């Protein structure tokens, strides 16, 4: 027998996915989907979720005003792993239970990070532009194999990425606020300070959540510590990196390349950065492989019933 509790699905991606819609409707009979195809925020989100007891969200912002306007709401289930759009204190104040599963899209993000690394080391963005413009130039580039890679954040994605890099023969450095000695030992990872990682790594890749402790963690001062000719990857969250400084370092040749899947403002509003031949950009697709979408969606469905009140350290967004 289907559950009759009223549900709303704010996520556009979930709402337009036929398999996820079908699987949710197999369990719940009263579901209101976001069929407008737009990102819902503020009043439009309140309108969709009004008188609903459970809500599936993706990138929608949940704050005090939203929760105050939705007194019937009991559960929010997260489609995806990022939690920077959630005001956890407001959730706690309103007694809202949260369904969240970490790591469901880790392989999707890992593979995009590897694609960024190889593409930038082999100068794929530049050579693609050149050949489109009629220039045939045999640029040499560099291999990923045997390079030193620094992973900032060794949570689900960092741990998934590590053995793949080791298979390339890479030296792996890791920096995290938590210690994972058994994992580090098993995978020959060197745990270092953030400053040491930036000084030593040929490639720096970010895999941390966005919160008050990580916002602008790669400031101008820290970016200047990076090796000349290094590559920077951000497939984590916008707001972790000073994008203006990255642009300057790319123009000056201090960085060989940068690959960003996420930006402080999305869509990004710096066309000069996007046009740089040593910059590779994608529109926040790291966790959006078909396989990851199904995994995230099924975790969100499960989270409608498997949930708990957030705490200061839950969910960690890692």
Q: Is the pLDDT of residue 298 over 80?
A: yes
> Could you give the residue numbers annotated as active site?
237, 266, 284
Confidence class of residue 177 from pLDDT cuts 50, 70 and 90? Answer: very high
Average pLDDT over residues 38-60: 95
Alpha-carbon separation of residue 72 from 64, 66, 209, 210 (angstroms) = 14, 12, 30, 29
Closest-CA residue to 37 (of 9, 54, 8, 13): 13
CATH architecture of 106-281: 3-Layer(aba) Sandwich (3.40)
Q: Considering the entire predicted model, what is its pTM?
A: 0.88
For the chain, where do the domains classified as CATH 3.40.50.720 start and end?
7-104+289-303, 106-281
Residues 15-47 pLDDT 10s: 999 999 999 999 999 999 999 988 899 999 999
Cβ atoms of residues 199 and 173 within 8 Å: no
To the nearest whole number, what is the mean pLDDT of the chain? Answer: 95
pLDDT score for 316? 66
pLDDT of residue 82: 83
Across 219-266, where does the E strand assignment appear?
230-234, 255-260
pLDDT at 311 over 90: no
Residue 266 above 70 pLDDT?
A: yes
Q: How far apart are CA 277 and CA 247, in angstroms?
A: 11
Tell which wins on pLDDT, 84 or 161.
161
What's the whole-number mean pLDDT along residues 126-143?
95
Q: How far apart are CA 235 and CA 287, in angstroms?
A: 9
Phi and psi dihedrals of 11, rounded to 5? -65, 130
pLDDT (mean) for 163-181: 97
Span 245-255, average pLDDT: 98
pLDDT score of 157 more than 90: yes
At 83 the pLDDT is 86
DSSP letter string, 120-159: HHTTHHHHHHHHHTT---------STT-EEEEE--SHHHH
Does CATH number 3.40.50.720 belong to domain 7-104+289-303? yes
Q: What span, in angstroms and rounded, lies between the C-alpha atoms of 138 and 124? A: 11
Q: Could you give the CA distance from residue 67 to residue 61 in angstroms, rounded to a whole number? A: 11
Task: Band the pLDDT of 165: cuts 50, 70, 90.
Answer: very high
Name every residue whose Cβ is closer than 8 Å to that of residue 187 and which is 6 or more positions away in sequence.
162, 163, 166, 172
The pLDDT of residue 1: 80
Question: In whole angstroms, what is the distance from residue 139 CA to residue 25 CA?
Answer: 53
302: exposed, middle or buried (Cβ count in 10 Å: 0-12, 13-18, 19+): middle
Q: In percent, how much of the chain has pLDDT > 70? A: 98
pLDDT at 317 over 80: no
Pick from 112, 86, 61: which is nearest to 283 by CA? 112
């Amino acid at each position: 027998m289907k559950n009759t509790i009223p549900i709303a699905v704010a996520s556009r991606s979930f709402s337009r996915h036929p398999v996820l819609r079908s699987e949710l409707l197999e369990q719940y009979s009263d579901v209101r989907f976001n069929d407008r195809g737009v990102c819902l925020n503020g009043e439009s989100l309140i309108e969709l979720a009004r008188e609903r007891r459970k809500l599936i969200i993706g990138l929608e912002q949940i704050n005090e005003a939203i929760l105050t306007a939705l007194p019937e709401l009991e559960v929010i289930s997260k489609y995806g792993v990022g939690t920077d759009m959630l005001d956890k204190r407001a959730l706690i104040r309103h007694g809202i239970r949260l369904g969240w599963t970490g790591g469901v899209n880790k392989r999707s993000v890992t593979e995009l990070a590897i694609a960024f690394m190889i593409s930038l080391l082999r100068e794929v963005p530049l050579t693609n532009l050149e050949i489109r413009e009629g220039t045939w130039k045999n640029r040499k580039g560099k291999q990923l194999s045997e390079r030193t890679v620094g992973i900032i954040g060794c949570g689900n994605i960092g741990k998934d990425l590590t053995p793949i890099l080791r298979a390339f023969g890479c030296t792996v450095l890791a920096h995290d606020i938590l210690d994972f000695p058994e994992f580090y030992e098993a995978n020959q990872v060197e745990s270092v300070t953030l400053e040491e990682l930036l000084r030593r790594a040929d490639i720096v890749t970010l895999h941390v959540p966005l919160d008050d402790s990580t916002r602008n963690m790669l400031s101008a001062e820290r970016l200047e510590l990076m090796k000349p000719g290094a590559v920077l990857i951000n497939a984590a969250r916008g707001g972790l990196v000073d994008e203006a400084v990255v642009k300057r370092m790319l123009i000056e040749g201090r960085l060989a390349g940068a690959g960003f899947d996420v930006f402080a403002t999305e869509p990004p509003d710096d066309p000069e950065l996007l046009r740089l031949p040593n910059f590779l950009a994608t529109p926040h697709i790291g966790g959006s492989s078909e396989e990851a979408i199904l995994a995230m969606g099924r975790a969100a469905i499960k989270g409608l019933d498997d949930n708990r009140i957030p705490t200061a350290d839950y969910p960690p967004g890692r």
